[in-house]
Amino acid sequence: MGILEKISEIEKEINRTQKNKATEYHLGLLKAKLAKYRAQLLEPSKKQEKGEGFDVLKSGDARVALIGFPSVGKSTLLSTLTHTESEAASYEFTTLTCIPGVIEYKDANIQLLDLPGIIEGASQGKGRGRQVIAVARTADLVLMMLDATKQDIQRQLLEKELESVGIRLNKRKPNIYFKVKKGGGLAFNATCPLSRVDEKLVQVILHEYKIFNAEVLFREDCTPDELIDVISDNRVYLPCMYVYNKIDQISIEEVDRIARQPNSVVVSCNMKLNLDYLLEVLWQYLSLIRVYTKKPGQPPDFDDCLILRKGVTVEHVCHSIHRTLAEQFKYALVWGTSTKYSPQRVGLQHIMHDEDVIQVVKK
């Protein structure tokens, strides 16, 4: 029986097993088996199917992957937001490769990748699904494009496809410390009360992975699935925006209902409705900031701005200016919202804010 059959067998068994105290261990075991088979399925196949047209180099300050069913308007969006033309047409699978474009926004270059539409079963290799999903894993943000005239079934199917290949959307890594040891059996601890797992269940799951000696520390009340994610260690945690296109085809009330959903933006590419707001939300979700540099005795250089991730320190800024600058660093003067006074003397660990100005003073 092939891996696909095993996976569907286990999924069926999970669905027909009602969840209660008695079946908790059995369900934990099944989930671990499922995760293991899925990992095998995704292992790069021996012949590593060529990703012709999919090996696009990462460039710019951030990468956004356009994921969605065929004909939702992905290529129309790319052609509208960037200088790159990607063919759009009403028939499905117009786009067959990965087509990069660049969104120039607030001094940043955001690489937007147009991709072939994916369908149910993409993660099992239907269509170009496997290559499309492999590209999504390399992105900093997933822009999931949906057809606003269709029910939400598309969204659930896409989320399931991405979830099944280890992509976790709008979630952060579970706070579990896990380390496989040479011996000493299972050291299981928690820094908070646990309501979803206990030591026995953790043991059952680890045994499924042939792990008998490990240190496990739960720092939050995580689920068995989250423990499996930590053990598998091949999950990617990505922000995701749900962009509902073709709102020119639905009622105002329906547009309003959809727009109120979390992480959702409503647009019409054809009629260029709400695209500015889309870019604003994209900027927020990418958590980028702009830092300007200044030389002693000169005004800040507002033409040459550094695009960095929210939360970066002065040390990061030094490395992005010049790799040896941090060693020669004496102190820095910073103007902006990250300091009480402007300017204020700061050290390497000072956290920068959007639109701060920095002047580095060398030893």
Ligand X SMILES: Nc1nc2c(ncn2[C@@H]2O[C@H](COP(=O)(O)OP(=O)(O)OP(=O)(O)O)[C@@H](O)[C@H]2O)c(=O)[nH]1
State the residues that interact with ligand X by CB under 6 A: 68, 70-76, 88-90, 92-95, 116-117, 245-246, 248-249, 268-270
When asked if residue 76 is in the footprint of K ion (CB under 5 A), the reply is: no
CB atoms within 10 A of CB 129: 20
- Beta carbon of residue 207, minimum distance to ligand X (angstroms, whole number): 43
- Beta carbon of residue 94, minimum distance to K ion (angstroms, whole number): 4
- In this structure, are residues 285 and 241 in contact, taking their beta carbons and an 8 Å threshold? yes
- Count of residues near Mg ion by CB under 5 A: 4
**Position 346, amino acid:** V
CB burial of 228-241 (b: ≥16 within 10 Å; e: otherwise) equals bbbbeeebbebbbb
Q: Which does 73 bind (CB under 5 to 8 A by kind): ligand X, K ion, Mg ion, none?
A: ligand X
Q: Which is nearer to K ion, 77 or 334 (CB)?
A: 77
DSSP string, 278-341: HHHHHHHHHTEEEEEE--TTS---TTSEEEEETT-BHHHHHHHH-TTTTTTEEEEEEESTTSSS
Q: Which is nearer to ligand X, 80 or 344 (CB)?
A: 80
From 7, 63, 67, 75, residue interacting with Mg ion (rule: CB under 5 A):
75
- Beta carbon of residue 268, minimum distance to ligand X (angstroms, whole number): 4
Q: Which does 123 bind (CB under 5 to 8 A by kind): K ion, Mg ion, ligand X, none?
A: none
CA distance 42 to 24: 27
When asked if residue 95 is in the footprint of Mg ion (CB under 5 A), the reply is: yes
- Mention every residue, 6+ apart, whose C-beta is less than 8 A from residue 85: 79
From 42, 54, 62, 71, residue interacting with K ion (rule: CB under 5 A):
71
Stretch that binds Mg ion, among 88-96, 151-159, 232-240, 252-260 (CB under 5 A): 88-96
Q: Which is nearer to Mg ion, 78 or 134 (CB)?
A: 78
- In this structure, are residues 303 and 323 in contact, taking their beta carbons and an 8 Å threshold? no
Residue from 112, 156, 113 nearest 131 by CA? 113
User: How far are the Cα atoms of 107, 260, 275 from residue 272, in angstroms, in the given order?
Assistant: 22, 20, 6
Stretch that binds Mg ion, among 69-77, 142-150, 310-318, 340-348 (CB under 5 A): 69-77
- Beta carbon of residue 236, minimum distance to ligand X (angstroms, whole number): 23
Q: Which is nearer to K ion, 10 or 78 (CB)?
A: 78
| Residue whose Cβ sits closest to ligand X | 117
- Beta carbon of residue 133, minimum distance to ligand X (angstroms, whole number): 14
From 82, 86, 94, 203, residue interacting with K ion (rule: CB under 5 A):
94
Q: Which is nearer to ligand X, 154 or 293 (CB)?
A: 154
**Position 136, amino acid:** A
CB burial of 71-83 (b: ≥16 within 10 Å; e: otherwise) equals bbbbbbbbbbbbe
User: How far are the Cα atoms of 2, 39, 160 from residue 164, in angstroms, in the given order?
Assistant: 17, 9, 6
Binding site for Mg ion (CB under 5 A): 74-75, 94-95
